[in-house]
Amino acid sequence: MKIVFTIYFAVVAAGLASAGEPEPHHAAPTSVIQITPAFINELAEEMRTNHPALKAAGARTQAAEANAAAVRSWEDPTLRLGGVGARREFRASDGDLIYGVEQKLPLFGKPQLARGVAQTELATEQANTNYQFQILRRELAKALFKSALADRLVGIGEQDLVWLDTLVAATEQRYRAGTATQIQLLRVQSEQAKRAEQLRTDKLRLGHEQFGMNRMLNRNLHETWPRLQLPEVASALVYNQQLVNLAVKYEPKLKVLQQQIKQAEATATLTRRQRLPNVSLGFEGRNYTGDGSSRQDMVTLSFNLPWANFSRYRSDIKRDEARLKAAELDATDYELSVQEEVHHLTVSIDAARREALLYRDEIIPRAEQALKSTRYAWETDKGMFADVLDARRMLLDGQLMYARAVAEQYETMAELVLCCGLGDFEALQMIGVQTEPAKSQPDKP
């Protein structure tokens, strides 16, 4: 019997020792990349050139640029040719070949205003292209952090499965020796089966996160990725007026709305000018085909009479002025929502940071100490089997919650980077947001 117990404790001790060592996440990728602003920017530039939606936005910008260059100051002249059918003496007297040209004059600044409308459309498309890029860069950053979190969950699951495999073997041996109950064996076997299924699910979710990143970068959808590692906990970020000022000035969608206001203003100005008549200058001549001599020449000045449709022009002006007012109100409303969003994001970032620090500095160290104590008590036959299992689960839950809190903090920071119109996470350093000094992540038990 003593030999059985000796073998049993040796197997369990070896299993617990091996469970305390870091395990690889999965076999395929071996390299590890920690997510940094430089890494995100590198992938963002790849996305800028490859993503179909950004290519489409660029094409719309090129179309708007071509449209602005196509606005004409001088319209095409109109050429007229005609003839007269009459008796010869009438044709010889008045001429029987009629020719002329008419040119619309660029008066009252209408061509310049039309060109201004086209240029504001171009600026709006450029702002919208930048907005689309910023949105996709935010989604790419969040996808990277989600993938790193999924990778960490796979690592925790594999580590836990190794530990459970060792514990199942030891419990089965003890059950055969008559020192463990069937309930204990069934419980640890159930835990092993649940962990194995959860690990399969976590690996599939990791594969889906990588699938999504490949789609955003327009890569092969099944291309493998290296292991992604979450960064350290970021330093505290407090809501302040400087953040609000940055958001109000540089938030990408707000800049699009502001450009739409300028476009609506230019359109309304052009509509008001359309009430003025269009003036054309013309020349007309008559020749006699018998001898080719000229019979008469005349210069004409023609213009339309817009006053007959005064009420219609007035309706056009009201329409464009209403659109201008709507654009201004939309921008005002969104500006207020941006200020609210900045406050919400800073609160969320602070909450995630405090949660991560709580698990890193208090809960995980206590769980590690509890595992050591229960392990020693169990090895010396002074503790309960369930206490070791519970302590191990508590430590794994702490590591999981820590990783989730760090990922949530950086995902929310990606939202704040977009909201403030900043380039990347490093740009937040200008307003006092810096990464804490390097501190190792909690060791795996």
Per-residue pLDDT of the chain (445 residues; tens, 9 = 90+): 333 333 333 333 334 334 443 333 333 445 889 999 889 999 999 999 999 999 999 999 999 999 999 999 888 898 988 888 777 777 777 777 888 898 888 988 889 999 999 999 999 999 999 999 999 999 999 999 999 999 999 999 999 899 889 888 888 887 887 777 788 788 889 989 999 999 999 999 999 999 999 999 999 999 999 999 999 998 888 888 888 888 999 999 999 999 999 999 999 999 999 888 888 998 888 887 877 778 788 888 888 888 778 888 899 999 999 999 999 999 999 999 999 999 999 999 999 999 999 999 999 999 989 988 887 776 677 778 788 788 888 999 999 999 999 999 999 999 998 888 887 666 665 565 443 434 444 444 4
Degrees, nearest 5: CA angle 305-306-311: 145
Is there a domain that residue 408 lies in? yes
Asked if residues 409 and 231 have their Cβ atoms less than 8 Å apart, the reply is no
**Which residue carries 């049993």 as its tokens?**
8
Q: How many CB atoms lie within 10 A of CB 164?
A: 23
Is there a domain that residue 439 lies in? no
Number of compact structural domains in the chain: 1
Can you read off the two tokens belonging to residue 408?
A: 């949530």
Q: How confident is the model at residue 164, as a pLDDT? A: 86
Element (H, E) at 116: helix 110-176
DSSP character for 430? Answer: G
Least Cα distance to 86 among 329, 302, 288 occurs for 288
Q: Structural domain of residue 26, as residue ranges?
A: 2-431
**Which residue carries 């790849």 as its tokens?**
46
Is there a domain that residue 443 lies in? no
Separation of alpha carbons 415 and 134, rounded Å: 10
Least Cα distance to 44 among 148, 147, 142, 137 occurs for 137
- Strand-pair partners of 97: 83, 287
Least Cα distance to 269 among 324, 312, 200 occurs for 324
Separation of alpha carbons 279 and 316, rounded Å: 21
The model carries a pTM of 0.81
Degrees, nearest 5: CA angle 157-160-165: 120
φ/ψ region of 218 (left if φ > 0, alpha if ψ in -120 to 50, else beta) reads: left
Contacts of 77 (CB under 8 A, 6+ apart): 101, 102, 103
The Cα-based distances of 159 to 14, 23, 162, 424 in angstroms read 14, 6, 5, 34
Contacts of 96 (CB under 8 A, 6+ apart): 83, 84, 85, 86, 286, 287, 288, 289
Q: How confident is the model at residue 445, as a pLDDT? A: 42
Is there a domain that residue 437 lies in? no
Is there a domain that residue 162 lies in? yes
Separation of alpha carbons 260 and 270, rounded Å: 15
Q: Output phi, psi for 85, to 5 deg.
A: -105, 115
Separation of alpha carbons 231 and 138, rounded Å: 17
**Which residue carries 């040209």 as its tokens?**
101
Q: How confident is the model at residue 306, as a pLDDT? A: 81
Least Cα distance to 158 among 22, 31, 268, 282 occurs for 22
Is there a domain that residue 363 lies in? yes
Degrees, nearest 5: CA angle 115-117-121: 115
Separation of alpha carbons 349 and 362, rounded Å: 20
Q: How many CB atoms lie within 10 A of CB 89?
A: 8
> What stretches of 274-384 show up as alpha helix (H) in DSSP?
310-358, 364-379
Give the CATH number, domain containing residue 49. Answer: 1.20.1600.10
Strands 32-34 and 227-229 turn out to be parallel
The Cα-based distances of 31 to 41, 79, 88, 119, 232 in angstroms read 20, 74, 99, 49, 19
Is there a domain that residue 310 lies in? yes
**Which residue carries 């890494």 as its tokens?**
39
Can you read off the two tokens belonging to residue 307?
A: 């006053």
CA 126 to chain centre: 17
3-state secondary structure (DSSP) of residue 103: strand
Is there a domain that residue 438 lies in? no
φ/ψ region of 394 (left if φ > 0, alpha if ψ in -120 to 50, else beta) reads: alpha
